[in-house]
Amino acid sequence: MNDRVDDERGATLASMASVLADATRATFLVALLDGRAWTATELARHAGVAPSTATAHLHRLRNSGLITEVRQGRHRYVRLADPATADLVESLVSAAPDVAEPVRSLSASTRRRALAFARTCYDHLAGTLGVAVTDAMTARGFLTWENGLAVTDDGAHWLTTLDPQGWPPGRGRAPVRPCLDWTERRSHLAGAAGALVCRYAIDAGWVARRPRTRAVTLTATGRHALREHLGLAESVLRPKASA
């Protein structure tokens, strides 16, 4: 009567999902979406739990293969295991039905606005800026959405001018992928192409990372460059005054 094969898959699915099903572990993973390595204590403080609790969670995340760790002296640095894991986390977040959340405080509002304008999402750009770049690349004919998202020949050429080594990407990773933007409710560019653009934008000083947050700052250089490369109007490159 029982279908053993399917039972195995069901049990597998459940055990995998149960790792993600805890609010504290989920907070860890979302924090790690910035692609950087965090220490155990940082994550514990970020999630508001005791160090001992964080230890147990990290133990479980590591055993499930979702994170990797590096020991350095008395520090334990952890990262997401790979881009596929980041994709999984993202897809679970965006699978949830949308609910509008009221903003709770002024400083939270400021922080939210900074994040909404420009941030990194694992390894690519997100927020208003991420969507604007994606739109501009589409308008320039670098991307096509005809049969799903794809890079055009012109687009491949442009990516090559940014990073001759970086395109086309190696196998094992989606070259291009839409990622649903949680603030804009629209898709921005992810996958290897999104990572390439983001890497270049940071290296070339178009945007600057800020400490302790995924928000990034668009520099004057960046504004100019985006206008040159993609014809992006200055008007869309200013954070909006109100949420």
Partner DNA sequence: CTGATGCTTCGGCCGGTGCCGAAGCATCAG
Partner DNA sequence: CTGATGCTTCGGCACCGGCCGAAGCATCAG
Site map for its own copies, 82-101, x if CB under 8 A? --xx-xxx-xxx-xxx---x
162 CA to centre of own chain:
21
Residues 46-85 that bind DNA (CB under 7 A): 48-60, 72-76
Please list, in sequence order, all residues whose beta carbon lies within 8 angstroms of the beta carbon of residue 149, skipping any fewer than 6 positions away. 143, 176, 177, 178, 187, 189
* Smallest separation (angstroms) from its own copies to the CB of 176: 8
Provide the CB-side half-sphere exposure for 187 (13 A, CA): 16
Residues 107-146 that bind DNA (CB under 7 A): none
168 binds its own copies (CB under 8 A): yes
Burial profile 208-226: b = 16 or more Cβ within 10 angstroms, e = fewer: eeeeeebbbebeeebeebb
147 binds, among its own copies, DNA, none (CB under 5 to 8 A by kind): its own copies
Stretch binding its own copies (CB under 8 A), from 69-77, 109-117, 123-131, 202-210: 109-117
Of 30, 29, 34, 31, residue with least CA distance to 209: 34
Q: Total residues at the site for DNA (CB under 7 A)?
A: 26
Can you list the positions of beta strands (E) in 11-61? 38-39
Of the residues 56, 70, 139, 150, which one makes contact with its own copies according to CB under 8 A: 150
* Smallest separation (angstroms) from its own copies to the CB of 129: 16
Of the residues 41, 94, 161, 213, which one makes contact with DNA according to CB under 7 A: 41
Rg (CA), the chain: 19
Q: Total residues at the site for its own copies (CB under 8 A)?
A: 72
* Smallest separation (angstroms) from its own copies to the CB of 114: 10
- The CA-to-CA distance between both ends of the chain, in Å, stands at 56
* Smallest separation (angstroms) from its own copies to the CB of 177: 9
Name the DSSP letter for residue 6: H
Q: Which residues bind DNA (CB under 7 A)?
A: 18, 22-24, 39-42, 48-60, 72-76
